[in-house]
Amino acid sequence: MLESLRSFLSGKTLLIFVTIMAIPFVFFGSTAVGTIFTTYGKVNGLEVSQADLNSANNTINQRLVDTYGDDFSIDQIPEDMLLERVKEEIIYQKTLLSQTRDMGILVSEDAAKKGIMLSPNFQSGGQFDEIAFETAIRTQGYTPNDYITIVSEGMAKNYLIDSISSSFRTQGYTPNDYITIVSEGMAKNYLIDSISSSFFTLDSEILDLAKLLEQERDITFTKIDFNTLKSTIQADLTEAEAYYSANSIEFYSDEARSMNYIMLNNNDYRSLVEVPENYLAEAYDDYVQRIEMRSEKRASHIMVDLMNYESKDDALKVITSAQDELNSGKDFNEVVLGFSEDIISKELEGDIGYSSGDVFPEEFESSLSKMSEGEVSNIIFSDATNSFHILKLTEINKEEANPFDDMKDDLLEELISAESEALMDEDRDIIDNAILDNLSLEEVASTLNIEIQTAEDLTIENFDFEIKNSQIIQTLFSIPAGFNSAEVIELEDGMIVMGLSSIQESKLMPFDAVTENVFDSVKDEKSLALSLSVQKSLNDDKDFDLSASYLSQDSFVGIKRYSSLLPAEVIQKAFISPINEQFQVSASNGDSYLMTVNSIKNPDEEFLEALGEEYKEFSRGQVSNKMATLVFDELRNSAKVNLQNL
């Protein structure tokens, strides 16, 4: 029931930080903001890399799509505004990361690996596909270790965010306790004052809010439909010419620019890849070995800890006694209960979980690699745990390798994709160096032996170019006149190197070329004037003739303030206007309403009681979001920012 209310109250201005950092399992090959630099400075001592820039840009893009819908395009944001948003996102993410490290919130490499393996983006048939994983990340310029680090840091930041958002509800902290724990060294008085004045709501306040939001109103109105009214308006040539003369600024052409460019596309390099002899056979053998290494082994153990004994020999005697019990035929679980000093696994029949070869201590892994399922090991001493152990291999989860014929096409594609990317990277390096040396596009094209192409008379409003990329538009129209150096823009599957060739300045278009637009503007002006006149007549004359096609009357009963039956600005006006008083309100689409609120119905106590818990939970969520917002704002304000080359 509260979904529409949440949407109504949680608009663009509400920052919900529990979704600020998503593990970046979806790869983007292009960014709306990008340069040739590999480092952009530091935030709180943490270096900002190209990967950070890409991640921030993708986060901003996804957040805007979530807010405004799938039809939203990041192209709609001016370059300077987008760059500022990306900078702020980078600062927030690096500030979060530095805070996790200060607070000791760390996510192990193993936990990050498990997160990656569970991602559907890297699965095939419900199982983790290592080849798909490595192909995807290497195509985007990551090594597996790099990507594991990114995921580990992202998970740590999520833990920090979750802890801040939920601590008031689940951990029993007072505001002062939490400030001390999370934000030591920050502006505590400011936080305390803010929290005490606005973060906590009484039941009576929640009840008042529910009464307000569940209130219903009955309204009647007369609507002036602007587009229908406009369709009745006529304009003559004299009016159009007069309007053109008085408002000539409206009829200037857009500035047009032409550019020369060269394209580097990954597909152009695929034919240059040479497949080594016997590659497929060797690659398949490597694949099979990786599959075998991915098998997981589950183990149980009996542990005797040296810390509990005066000497190593004394501990050895105990573990030897346990081994004797096993050799006599006693059940492993019984021996665990009788001898093991691992109090956690002892209650689990000695179970210590799974390993794919890199989780358990080295001595365990070495012994398990030689054992078969159900087998019990000899006595093992582990330097890492300073204790004696007897292991039992209880389970083996082994993935079966696909047949060679099923894999050969994928293996060949993996080679061609990786090698073609490497070949293109070599040319990319040449271009980067040329840009740093301020070489012209012609000089770059000559070095790479690539033909220069031309795109002419491009405007911002009508950018008729083969590639739809906002960065190309922004770059072309930001190049100063006479600037001859080449510009580089990274694309999803390659790059474009471009240079400005000519500029056609904006100029007043002749009347004959814009006649239709002029007449339309005259009609808009006359329609607005008529609309205002009709509004006045409706207000002054209760018997005004309503037969015009652009006039309509209607009434709504029981409308709520988050209803979608009328434009939001009209609903808002209806809920702040007194009863039985006529008022006028205009919508953003030009329609006008002459409206009266006939009655107001407040929800009864029984109805409010039924909604009470929903509103309380909603209020608690708002409190958590406010707390997170304030804490992160303080972290942001105290961050040491030194961003260069951005």
pLDDT of residue 459: 92
pLDDT of residue 131: 67
pLDDT of residue 518: 96
pLDDT band at 243 (very low <50, low <70, confident <90, very high): very high
pLDDT band at 324 (very low <50, low <70, confident <90, very high): very high
pLDDT of residue 618: 63
pLDDT of residue 319: 93
Residue 8 has pLDDT above 70, yes or no: no
Ranked by mean pLDDT, the top range of 165-169, 267-271, 366-370, 375-379 is 375-379
Listed in sequence order, the DSSP H helices in 359-437 are: 362-368, 404-436
Residue 378 carries which DSSP code? Answer: -
Residue 402 has pLDDT above 70, yes or no: yes
What distance lies between CA 449 and its chain's CA centroid?
Answer: 39
Q: Please tell me which residue, 351 or 5, carries the higher pLDDT value.
A: 351
pLDDT of residue 417: 87
DSSP of 569-581, one letter per residue? HHHHHHTTSPTT-
Residue 546 has pLDDT above 70, yes or no: yes
Give the CA count within 13 Å in the CB-facing half-sphere of 234. 1
Task: Give the mean pLDDT of 104-130.
Answer: 74
For the chain, the farthest-separated pair of C-alpha atoms sits apart, in whole angstroms, at: 114
- What tokens appear for 437 in the block? 């040396």
Residue 325 has pLDDT above 70, yes or no: yes
**HEC readout, 337-390:** HHHCCCHHHHCCCCEEEEECCCCCCHHHHHHHCCCCCCCECCCEEECCCCEEEE
Residue 83 has pLDDT above 70, yes or no: yes
String of b and e for 97-109 (b: at least 16 CB within 10 Å)?
Answer: bbbbeeeebebee
**C-beta of residue 429 within 8 angstroms of C-beta of residue 421:** no
Least confidently predicted of 132-136, 289-293, 395-399, 484-488 = 132-136
Neighbours of 346 (CB within 10 A): 18
Residues 416-433 pLDDT 10s:
888 888 898 899 888 888
pLDDT of residue 592: 95
Residues 591-634 pLDDT 10s:
999 999 999 998 887 777 777 677 666 665 555 555 555 556 65
CA 403/CA 419 separation, integer angstroms: 24
- What tokens appear for 355 in the block? 């390993």
Residue 136's closest CA among 358, 418, 373? 418
CA 182/CA 544 separation, integer angstroms: 66
pLDDT of residue 271: 87
Residue 242 has pLDDT above 70, yes or no: yes
pLDDT band at 586 (very low <50, low <70, confident <90, very high): very high
CA 447/CA 441 separation, integer angstroms: 10
% pLDDT > 70, the chain: 76
**C-beta of residue 14 within 8 angstroms of C-beta of residue 625:** yes
Residue 204 has pLDDT above 50, yes or no: yes
pLDDT of residue 624: 55
pLDDT of residue 285: 87
CA 178/CA 186 separation, integer angstroms: 12
Residue 143 has pLDDT above 90, yes or no: no
pLDDT of residue 636: 63
pLDDT of residue 327: 93
Output phi, psi for 483, to 5 deg: -80, 125
**C-beta of residue 287 within 8 angstroms of C-beta of residue 411:** yes
pLDDT of residue 191: 39
**HEC readout, 455-507:** EEEECCCCCCCCCCCHHHHHHHCCCCCCCCECEEEEECCEEEEEEEEEEECCC
pLDDT band at 12 (very low <50, low <70, confident <90, very high): very low
Helix axes 515-540, 237-246, angle to 10 degrees: 100
pLDDT of residue 593: 96
pLDDT of residue 238: 96
pLDDT of residue 13: 26
Going from the C-alpha of 522 to that of each of 225, 514, 515, 637, the distances in angstroms are 18, 12, 11, 51
Residue 190 has pLDDT above 50, yes or no: no
CA 199/CA 193 separation, integer angstroms: 10
Task: Give the mean pLDDT of 233-246.
Answer: 95
Residue 104 has pLDDT above 80, yes or no: no
Task: Give the mean pLDDT of 366-375.
Answer: 90
Mean pLDDT of the chain: 79
Q: Please tell me which residue, 518 or 436, carries the higher pLDDT value.
A: 518
Listed in sequence order, the DSSP H helices in 171-265 are: 175-182, 188-198, 203-213, 226-231, 237-246
CA 437/CA 321 separation, integer angstroms: 76
Residue 530 has pLDDT above 90, yes or no: yes
pLDDT of residue 206: 65
Burial of 327: CB neighbours in 10 Å, binned 0-12, 13-18, 19+: exposed
Task: Give the mean pLDDT of 350-354.
Answer: 88
